[in-house]
Amino acid sequence: MARQQAPTRAQTGSRFKFIGETIAELKKVTWPTRQETFYLTTLVVVVSVAIAIALWLFDLGFAELMEVILF
């Protein structure tokens, strides 16, 4: 069995540096407001439902067309 070595001081320091840099970058992000988030989420849901309905109608139409052609 191979023994695991304890992390060196440089490895531990680089992990904390990475976490610190990540937090610093997240503080620079311009986060959307609550209203923007609600609007964009609603938009995504509405567009997704519209596309789903359109695909369902196309599928229904093609199924009927195949039914007529094959039988």
Q: Which residues contact residue 32 at a Cβ distance below 8 angstroms, ignoring those fewer than 6 apart?
A: 40
Residue 59 lies in a domain: yes
Residue 1 lies in a domain: no
The pLDDT tens digits of the residues spanning 26-54 come to 999 999 999 999 999 999 999 999 999 99
Evaluate if residue 1 carries a pLDDT over 60: no
Residue 40 lies in a domain: yes
Residue 16 lies in a domain: yes
Range(s) of the domain holding residue 16: 9-70
Residue 2 lies in a domain: no
Evaluate if residue 12 carries a pLDDT over 90: no
Residue 3 lies in a domain: no
Out of 8-12, 15-19, 27-31, 38-42, pick the least confident. Answer: 8-12
Query: What CA–CA distances, in Å, run from 44 to 8, 27, 30, 54?
Result: 47, 26, 20, 15
Residue 28 lies in a domain: yes
Domain count, the chain: 1
Average pLDDT taken over every residue of the chain: 88
C-alpha to C-alpha distance for 20 and 11, rounded to whole angstroms: 14
Q: What is the pLDDT of residue 3?
A: 67
